[in-house]
């Protein structure tokens, strides 16, 4: 069974073709890494799969529904209710505490504050962040902030976690710790992961690696 699929997707920004017939699918619980050189179309593909960008051609399917032809408000609800996101720079809300940041997707989904904070709390223990619940993002290290962002991406138990260069701003060791936690937490929840990275070490955590070149997806052939 396929949970998420891009079928022959093409997208240009003005005269610049970013994707030219990209096809990729992910099974439930599968961890897929998208590699490839800078400018090859990795982020654009991730944004199409996540319903953030609408392709010019081709189709995007999630859980039996075609999402590229949905109207924007339905797609936005789908992102809120079924998808989680982690980006390169955690993008924590600086005015909120770490636990409020983790609880944010639940609050936006209509969960009341006490219940949302109750669900956020176990993530601090799980990700080695105990004691940092009340800190603001300026008082966290890069690795701590990215673990908070990871908890925020997973707290609502999304069907798919989209991660765009989640370790890109971290040193190698810290990046591997974050990736290790990302993979183990996703597996525990059965969450499908699509991770964009240009680092082979990070991609090695995935079940399957693909390479985007000139807007097309190729299976990675290892020698």
66 neighbors 60 (Cβ within 8 angstroms): yes
* Collapsed DSSP state (helix, strand, coil) of residue 113: helix
Residue 68 or residue 164: which is nearer to ligand ADP going by CB?
A: 164
Site string (34-73) toward ligand ADP, x via CB under 6 A: --x-xxxxxxx--x----x---------------------
- The C-alpha angle with vertex 62 and arms to 17 and 149, in degrees rounded to 5, equals 80
- Answer yes or no whether residue 149 interacts with ligand ADP by CB under 6 A: no
What lies within 8 Å, CB to CB, of 153 at 6+ separation is 84, 85, 86, 105, 161, 163
Smallest distance from ligand ADP to CB 178, Å: 16
- Answer yes or no whether residue 87 interacts with ligand ADP by CB under 6 A: yes
- The correct pick among 1, 15, 16, 223 for binding ligand ADP (CB under 6 A) is 16
* Per rule CB under 6 A, count of chain residues that contact ligand ADP: 18
Tell which positions 156-185 bind ligand ADP, by CB under 6 A: 164
Residue 109 or residue 128: which is nearer to ligand ADP going by CB?
A: 109
What lies within 8 Å, CB to CB, of 194 at 6+ separation is 4, 26, 32, 34, 46, 49, 50, 160, 161, 162, 163
Smallest distance from ligand ADP to CB 153, Å: 10
- Answer yes or no whether residue 15 interacts with ligand ADP by CB under 6 A: no
* Collapsed DSSP state (helix, strand, coil) of residue 7: strand
Smallest distance from ligand ADP to CB 5, Å: 18
- Answer yes or no whether residue 105 interacts with ligand ADP by CB under 6 A: no
- The correct pick among 85, 123, 124, 205 for binding ligand ADP (CB under 6 A) is 85
Reading the block at residue 200, the tokens are 């082979």
Among the listed ranges 2-10, 11-19, 112-120, 175-183, the one in contact with ligand ADP (CB under 6 A) is: 11-19
* Collapsed DSSP state (helix, strand, coil) of residue 24: strand
- Residue 186, CA atoms < 13 Å, CB-side half-sphere: 30
Closest CA to 49 of 33, 64, 30, 67: 67
Among the listed ranges 23-31, 80-88, 111-119, 177-185, the one in contact with ligand ADP (CB under 6 A) is: 80-88
| Rounded Cα gap, residues 137 and 101, in angstroms | 9
Binding site for ligand ADP (CB under 6 A): 13, 16, 18, 36, 38-44, 47, 52, 79, 85, 87-88, 164
């Amino acid at each position: 069974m396929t949970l998420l699929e891009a079928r022959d997707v093409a997208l240009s920004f003005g005269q610049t073709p970013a994707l030219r017939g990209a096809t990729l699918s992910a099974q439930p619980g599968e961890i897929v890494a998208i590699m490839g050189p800078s400018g090859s179309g990795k982020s654009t593909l991730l944004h199409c799969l996540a319903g953030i960008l609408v392709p010019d051609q081709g189709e995007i399917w999630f859980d039996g529904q075609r999402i590229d032809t949905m109207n924007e408000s339905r797609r936005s609800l789908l992102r809120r209710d079924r998808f989680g996101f982690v980006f390169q720079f955690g993008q924590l809300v600086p005015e909120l505490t770490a636990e409020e940041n983790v609880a944010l997707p639940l609050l936006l989904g209509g969960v009341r504050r006490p219940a949302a904070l109750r669900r956020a709390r176990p993530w601090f223990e799980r990700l080695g962040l105990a004691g940092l619940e009340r800190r603001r993002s300026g008082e966290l290290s890069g690795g701590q902030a990215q673990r908070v962002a990871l908890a925020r991406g997973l707290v609502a138990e999304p069907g798919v976690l989209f991660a765009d260069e989640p370790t890109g701003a971290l040193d190698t060791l810290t990046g591997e710790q974050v990736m290790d936690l990302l993979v183990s937490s996703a597996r525990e929840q059965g969450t499908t992961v699509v991770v964009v990275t240009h680092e082979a070490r990070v991609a090695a955590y995935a079940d399957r690696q693909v390479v985007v070149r000139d807007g097309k997806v190729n299976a990675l052939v290892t020698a």
